[in-house]
């Protein structure tokens, strides 16, 4: 049995980023870049007004106040998208809309709130404008040739908006992985059925499936298979192996825990079995050719925690992310947490802000208590053999939200261990 950081090292040493593909910008949401993006143009494309107001020559407004305004002759207007054809001269002003092209001769914009229009052809200015006031200059945000996004960057709405503004209509990205999931166990039935004595509804498939789909990846539910080798072999006989294969249950030391043995007949190389964590000790990691295999525990909480700690970072890493781990932060505990002998305990917690970040327990921490996982928004890290008392500072990782890189995560976890 090895510790969590060492287990992560084994997994990440056996990951390879998926192939690249060129796709249209409209399809790129949720992918990771497989190239650096350098701008082929300036942004903004031209000098323009940062607000609605009046384009002026700044020297013309010297000394202007509310009580003693400067009066300028209004010679026209500059709507966005329609540049003024002439040149602004001393004593003149042009009404200009936000985004309007700064006319020749003008060197400042006076906000409309600091002026008063005197129809039909004059405007009063109530403030002294400084040169370049409220002007957005060509290339002020991005200059042609600048790197605007680097390889492995996540492509979300803001990133896609930037690329659209720069005229990029295709991008090179890393492919997203395909994931298949199989639940094992004679006791399992579909959630739609009524359980008999000893039977349990299969909650792992929908739970893991929705966590996978939340990342934007394709999830294939292979259903349920019994704990008999022949049934499991039939299930895999004609299966085209995906990028990542997940199973739940059958990975411990019981007589009926045989899924890994079944997969060995298909070429599974087991690289990792048993990690010193709670919940989720009997996790299996290996490879079947190029397919990554994760054997998750059967208890729903254990399956969810193992997915978050091992599977999700791996999925993000092979899809091109350089920051695949949940953010780890410090908070003051408002609960007592009991340590586990020799194992790093990931207790389910609720993080909130009250004169600083704080966490509290969701209640009972048994690996079968799915209701506690449902109310958690973080996992509280309890070092081996070190109970945590209310009022002490703890580390926790968010179940969703900001992510960090591999080295940062390894350092944070290692610091908790002897």
Domain C-terminal end among 318, 337, 361:
318
Domain identity same for 101 and 181: no
If asked whether residues 156 and 94 sit together in one domain, one would say: no
On average, the pLDDT of the chain sits at 94
Dihedral of alpha carbons 105, 111, 114, 116, sign? positive
| Count: domains in the chain | 4
The whole-number pLDDT of residue 255 equals: 55
Strand bridging mode 70-78 / 48-49: unpaired
* 267/153 same-domain check: no
Which of 318, 342, 371 is where one domain is finished?
318
At 365 the pLDDT is 83
Q: What is the CATH number of the domain that holds 151?
A: 3.90.105.10
Please report which confidence band the pLDDT of residue 254 belongs to, taking 50, 70 and 90 as the band edges.
low
- Answer yes or no: is pLDDT of 309 > 90: yes
Cα–Cα distance measured from residue 53 to residue 211, given in angstroms and rounded to the nearest whole number: 49
232 and 287 inside one domain? yes
Q: What is the CATH number of the domain that holds 124?
A: 2.170.190.11
Closest CA to 49 of 97, 1, 3, 105: 97
CA nearest to 33, candidates 45, 15, 21: 21
Tens-place pLDDT, residues 335-383: 999 999 999 999 999 999 888 899 999 998 877 788 889 999 999 999 9
Mark whether 184 and 80 lie in a shared domain.
Answer: no
pLDDT given at position 257? 67
Shared domain for 234 and 266, answered yes or no, is yes
Q: Per the structure block, which two tokens stand in for 33?
A: 């870049």
User: Is residue 371 domain-shared with residue 407, that is, in the same domain?
Assistant: yes
Measured CA angle at 24 (ends 20, 25), to 5 deg? 105
pTM, entire model: 0.89
Domain boundary among 136, 163, 190: 136
Q: Are residues 40 and 162 in the same domain?
A: yes
Residues 202 and 299 in one domain: yes
Q: Which uninterrupted H or E stretch holds 388?
A: none
Contacts of 396 (CB under 8 A, 6+ apart): 328, 329, 330, 331, 349, 351, 359, 378, 379, 380, 381
User: In the structure encoding, which two tokens stand for residue 38, read together?
Assistant: 């350098």
Q: At 375, which CATH number?
A: 2.40.340.10
> Are residues 313 and 336 both part of a single domain?
no
Look up the domain containing 144 and give its range: 20-44+140-174
195 to 173, 190, 228, 231: CA distances (angstroms): 45, 9, 20, 21
132 closest CA partner among 185, 77, 57, 67 = 57
CB proximity list for 315: less than 8 A, separation 6 or greater: 177, 179, 212, 215, 217, 244, 324
> CA 376 to CA 304: how far, in whole Å?
12
Q: Which residues contact 26 (CB under 8 A, 6 or more apart)?
A: none
Answer whether residue 301 shows pLDDT above 60: yes
Same domain, 225 and 202: yes
**73 plus 216 within the same structural domain:** no
Q: What is the CATH classification number for the domain harbouring 311? A: 3.40.980.10
């Amino acid at each position: 049995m090895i510790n969590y950081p060492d287990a992560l090292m084994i997994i990440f040493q056996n990951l390879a980023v998926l192939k690249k593909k060129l796709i249209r910008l409209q399809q790129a949401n949720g992918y990771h870049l497989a190239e650096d993006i350098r701008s082929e143009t300036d942004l903004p494309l031209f000098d323009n007004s940062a607000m609605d107001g009046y384009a002026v020559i700044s020297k013309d407004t010297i000394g202007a106040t509310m009580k003693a305004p400067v009066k300028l002759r209004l010679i026209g207007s500059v709507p966005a998208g329609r540049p003024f054809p002439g040149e602004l001269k001393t004593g003149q002003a042009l009404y200009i809309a936000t985004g309007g092209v700064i006319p020749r001769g003008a060197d400042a914009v006076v906000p409309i709130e600091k002026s008063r229009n005197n129809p039909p052809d004059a405007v009063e200015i109530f403030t002294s404008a400084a040169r370049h006031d409220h002007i957005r200059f060509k290339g002020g945000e991005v200059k042609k040739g600048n790197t605007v996004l680097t390889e492995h960057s996540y492509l979300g709405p803001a990133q896609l908006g930037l690329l659209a503004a720069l005229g990029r209509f295709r991008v090179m990205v890393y492919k997203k992985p395909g994931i298949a999931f199989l639940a094992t166990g004679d006791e399992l039935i579909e959630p739609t059925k009524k359980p008999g004595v000893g039977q349990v509804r299969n909650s792992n498939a929908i739970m893991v499936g929705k966590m996978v789909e939340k990342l934007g990846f394709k999830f294939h539910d292979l259903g349920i298979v019994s704990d008999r080798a022949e049934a499991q072999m039939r299930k895999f006989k004609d299966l085209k192996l995906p990028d990542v294969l997940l199973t739940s249950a059958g990975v411990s030391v019981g007589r009926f825990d045989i899924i890994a043995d079944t997969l060995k007949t298909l070429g599974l190389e087991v690289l990792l079995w048993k990690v010193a964590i709670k919940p989720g000790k009997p996790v299996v990691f290996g490879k079947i050719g190029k397919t990554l295999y994760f054997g998750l525990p059967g208890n729903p909480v254990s399956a969810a925690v193992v997915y978050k700690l091992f599977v999700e970072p791996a999925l993000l890493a092979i899809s091109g992310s350089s920051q695949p781990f949940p953010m780890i932060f410090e908070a003051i505990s408002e609960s007592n947490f009991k340590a586990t002998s020799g194992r790093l305990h990931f207790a389910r917690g609720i993080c909130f802000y009250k004169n600083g970040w704080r966490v509290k327990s969701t209640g009972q921490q048994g690996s079968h208590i799915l209701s506690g996982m449902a109310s958690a928004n973080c996992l509280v890290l309890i070092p081996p053999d070190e109970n945590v008392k209310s009022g002490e500072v703890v580390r926790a990782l968010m179940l969703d939200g900001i992510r960090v890189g591999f080295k940062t995560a390894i350092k944070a976890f290692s610091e908790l261990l002897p």
